[in-house]
Amino acid sequence: MSDPSNDRLARLFSESRHALRRYVRRWVRSPAEADEIVQEAFLRTYERSAAVETPRAFLFTIARHLAWKLRRHQALAATDSVGDFDDSRVVPQGPSPETQMLADEEVRLLTRAVEQLPPQCRAVFALRVFYACSYQDIADRLGLSVRTVEKHVARGTRETHEYLKRRYRDVK
């Protein structure tokens, strides 16, 4: 008998590898670098699969972080050979580190908010928000009525907003 977690990861690999590679290619120059990042992201997802509730979101987040790490390394290597940085006319590309840090924090907060939802509500909400599935598609995938899907999306939206409001209120 096969291990359900391995089956889930195998399905994740077959369903996500091409999309993940396209996603990573936005940030890295070479196809070989993209392939290495995709492989590393899948490996890290596999290693943490027992603790990860939304493997696809985790996979894409890991891949994005690895791509940015590679870009940062390449940028630093390029500036090492430039000499006096003040005289160079380098124009930064992509988001600033501050923007990236804020985006990463938003992802972490949203992930925590979604993890607070009941399992079925979380599954419905994740399919709608993160994967842009239609209500009918979600209903078909999970064996629910469209009306139940609508209720779960509404509840997920409401409870996620409440979690974020509480979280931001505590920060001030």
For residues 71 and 104, membership in a common domain is answered with: no
The pTM score is 0.45
Give the CATH number for residue 104: 1.10.10.10
Instruction: Write out pLDDT tens, residues 1-28.
Output: 566 667 787 888 888 888 889 888 888 8
Instruction: Write out pLDDT tens, residues 70-91.
Output: 888 777 766 555 555 555 555 5
Give the CATH number for residue 76: 1.10.1740.10
Count of structural domains within the chain? 2
For residues 35 and 110, membership in a common domain is answered with: no
Distance of CA 67 to the CA centre of its chain: 13
Question: What residue numbers bound the domain in which 21 lies?
Answer: 1-94
Q: What is the 3-state secondary structure (H, E, C) of 79-144?
A: HHCCCCHHHCCCCCCCCCHHHHHHHHHHHHHHHHHHHCCCHHHHHHHHHHHCCCCCHHHHHHHHCC
